[in-house]
């Protein structure tokens, strides 16, 4: 089938990150023909740049405007149109769809949530005045919803410690043997300085990998950088491709992640993590985080549950770090459980089944 994915980048990288991961899954795992129309092509290209060129060559990454002429004529007419995160289709593309010889199915790909209410809304029709059938599709953890994007599944091959991406060679050469490695990719507003100072009081070495933009949050690029004890080493890395960032997550002992794509990748890496969830005005993020923790900690001991909730709500590391070994075992078990529950192929496979 031919799939058109529409991606409008509201802010950050998550919209492009999800659309790219979905496109590569549909193309490389399921042999589908995929085009992404995006209003910020450079960002999308940057994320996609690390992938095997053979995979990338099969997916068309196109500017938003390229869709205007495209829907009307065979063979370009799509079978499935995805509006990622409810973005509105360009009018000229929609007009083309209405004139096309076959009508596609439209999917409103929603935000990921662990909240139980999505079970009821997943797959529901969203009737449109233009008459093209459209449905809501909710990614999530439960069996009854749209699943998770798994591709590429971290395996020993592509995530081996020896496969250091060239862009990370220099940073990786400064890592210290025996130091615990923590990567940080969070939003402004996290109490990072206090958090690192608290880590500095512990009798342990920590190498902290700061992803693109985090050094600025810590004022490291101004004349007044924070000073930390020598057991803490800060290492800044540039913005890397999505594949390379997946690798970073797999090579750290602990990750601070955000949004929804890095959040899932941290879980698939099988490592403990803090989810710095995207803040919403109405505090809906607190409900979302609690719903996830309910699922994530269902099988955890009371001690681990309290430690993890403390960490996820930014309690200082000295308050929970003694539970790291237990958390590590839990993270591995959770990863296995996720892969088992998504054994049907996860989001891409469920989407194919839904439209097929
Ligand atoms: O960038 P984000 O904060 O995206 C967010 C979320 O999607 C949020 O739900 C949404 O409402 C908002 O955008 C608009 O975090 P996320 O989802 O983790 O996406 C980051 C993507 O960037 C992910 O695919 C990983 C990728 N990435 C790289 O490719 N290279 C890098 O160096 C880093 C740090 C990230």
Quick one: which atom of ligand 1 is closest to the CA of 9? 14
pLDDT score of 285:
95
The average confidence (pLDDT) of the chain is 93
Pocket lining: 139 vs ligand 1, CB cutoff 6 Å: no
Residue 168 pLDDT greater than 70, yes or no: yes
Burial environment of residue 336 by CB neighbours within 10 A (0 to 12, 13 to 18, 19 or more):
exposed
Residue range 180-341 forms a domain whose CATH class is: alpha beta
Q: Best substitution site from 45, 261, 263, 289 to test ligand 1's pocket, by max atoms within 8 Å of Cβ?
A: 261
Closest Cα to atom 26 of ligand 1: 242
Pocket lining: 267 vs ligand 1, CB cutoff 6 Å: no
Query: Of the listed 243, 246, 260, 261, which one is catalytic?
Result: 260
Pocket lining: 47 vs ligand 1, CB cutoff 6 Å: yes
SS3 354: helix
**Tokens at 110, concatenated:** 């929603």
Closest Cα to atom 34 of ligand 1: 211
Pocket lining: 30 vs ligand 1, CB cutoff 6 Å: no
Q: Are 26 and 32 in contact (CB under 8 A)?
A: yes
Mean pLDDT of 291-295: 98
Instruction: Report how far residue 232's alpha carbon sits from residue 180's, in angstroms, rounded to the nearest whole number.
Output: 10
Mean pLDDT of 185-198: 95
Distance 259 CA to ligand 1 centre (A): 6
Closest Cα to atom 24 of ligand 1: 17
Q: Which of 62-76, 95-109, 197-211 has the highest mean pLDDT?
A: 197-211
Residue 156 pLDDT greater than 60, yes or no: no
Distance 10 CA to ligand 1 centre (A): 11
Mean pLDDT of 68-91: 83
Q: Is-catalytic flag, 52?
A: no
Pocket lining: 242 vs ligand 1, CB cutoff 6 Å: yes
Distance 186 CA to ligand 1 centre (A): 10
Q: Which of 69-73, 125-129, 271-275 has the lowest mean pLDDT?
A: 69-73
Exposure string of 156-176, with b = 16+ CB inside 10 Å and e = fewer, is: eeebeeeebbeebeebbeeee
Residue 74 pLDDT greater than 60, yes or no: no
pTM over 0.85: yes
pLDDT score of 70:
62
Q: Is-catalytic flag, 88?
A: no
Distance 13 CA to ligand 1 centre (A): 4
Closest Cα to atom 15 of ligand 1: 259
pLDDT score of 75:
62
Residue 287 pLDDT greater than 60, yes or no: yes
CATH architecture of the domain covering 2-151+343-355? 3-Layer(aba) Sandwich (3.40)
Distance 183 CA to ligand 1 centre (A): 14
Q: Where would I find the H helices in 218-301? A: 242-251, 261-268, 284-296
pLDDT score of 124:
98
Instruction: Report how far residue 298's alpha carbon sits from residue 292's, in angstroms, rounded to the nearest whole number.
Output: 10
Quick one: which atom of ligand 1 is closest to the CA of 18? 24
Distance 313 CA to ligand 1 centre (A): 20
Residue 71 pLDDT greater than 80, yes or no: no
- Decide whether 2-151+343-355 matches 180-341 in CATH topology: yes
Pocket lining: 241 vs ligand 1, CB cutoff 6 Å: yes
Quick one: which atom of ligand 1 is closest to the CA of 211? 34
Would you list the domain boundaries of the chain? 2-151+343-355, 180-341
Query: Of the listed 4, 15, 110, 243, which one is catalytic?
Result: 15
More confidently predicted of 102 and 34:
34
Residue 120 pLDDT greater than 90, yes or no: yes
Q: How confident is the model at residue 157 (pLDDT cuts 50, 70, 90)?
A: low
Q: Best substitution site from 8, 12, 216, 268 to test ligand 1's pocket, by max atoms within 8 Å of Cβ?
A: 12
Q: Where would I find the H helices in 297-345? A: 302-312, 324-341
Exposure string of 76-113, with b = 16+ CB inside 10 Å and e = fewer, is: ebbbbbbbbbebebbeebbebbeebeeebbbbbbbbbb
Q: Where would I find the H helices in 58-217? A: 91-99, 118-121, 169-173, 192-200, 214-217
Span 212-248, pLDDT tens digits: 999 988 887 666 767 899 999 999 999 999 999 999 9
């Amino acid at each position: 089938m031919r799939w058109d994915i529409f991606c409008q980048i509201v802010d950050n990288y998550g919209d492009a990150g999800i659309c790219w991961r979905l496109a590569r899954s549909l193309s490389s795992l399921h042999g589908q023909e995929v085009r992404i129309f995006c209003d910020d092509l450079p960002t999308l290209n940057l994320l996609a740049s690390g992938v095997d060129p053979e995979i990338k060559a099969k997916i068309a990454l196109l500017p938003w405007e390229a869709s205007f002429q495209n829907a009307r004529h065979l063979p370009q007419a799509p079978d499935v149109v995805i509006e990622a995160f409810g973005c509105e289709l360009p009018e000229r593309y929609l007009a083309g769809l209405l004139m096309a010889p076959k009508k596609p199915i439209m999917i409103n790909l929603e935000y990921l949530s662990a909240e139980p209410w999505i079970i009821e809304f997943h797959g529901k029709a969203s009737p449109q005045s233009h008459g093209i059938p459209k449905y809501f599709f909710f990614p999530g953890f439960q069996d009854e919803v749209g699943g998770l994007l798994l591709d590429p599944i971290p395996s020993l091959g592509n995530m081996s410690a020896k496969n250091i991406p060239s862009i990370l060679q220099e940073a990786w050469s400064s890592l210290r043997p025996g130091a615990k490695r923590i990567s940080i990719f969070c939003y402004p507003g996290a109490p990072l300085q206090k958090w690192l100072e608290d880590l500095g009081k512990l009798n342990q070495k920590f190498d902290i990998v700061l992803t693109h933009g985090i050094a600025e949050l810590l004022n490291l690029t101004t004349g007044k950088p924070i000073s930390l004890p020598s057991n803490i080493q800060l290492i800044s890395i540039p913005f890397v491709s999505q594949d390379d960032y997946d690798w970073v997550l797999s090579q750290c002992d602990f990750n601070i992640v955000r949004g929804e794509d890095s959040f899932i990748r941290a879980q698939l890496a099988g490592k403990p993590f803090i989810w710095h969830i995207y803040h919403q005005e109405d505090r809906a993020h607190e409900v979302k985080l609690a719903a996830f923790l309910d699922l994530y900690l269902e099988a955890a001991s009371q001690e681990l549950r309290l430690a993890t909730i403390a960490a996820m709500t930014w309690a200082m590391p000295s308050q929970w770090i003694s539970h790291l070994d237990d958390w590590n075992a839990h993270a591995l078990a959770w990863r296995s459980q996720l892969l088992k529950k998504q054994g049907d192929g996860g989001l891409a496979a469920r989407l194919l089944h839904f439209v097929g």
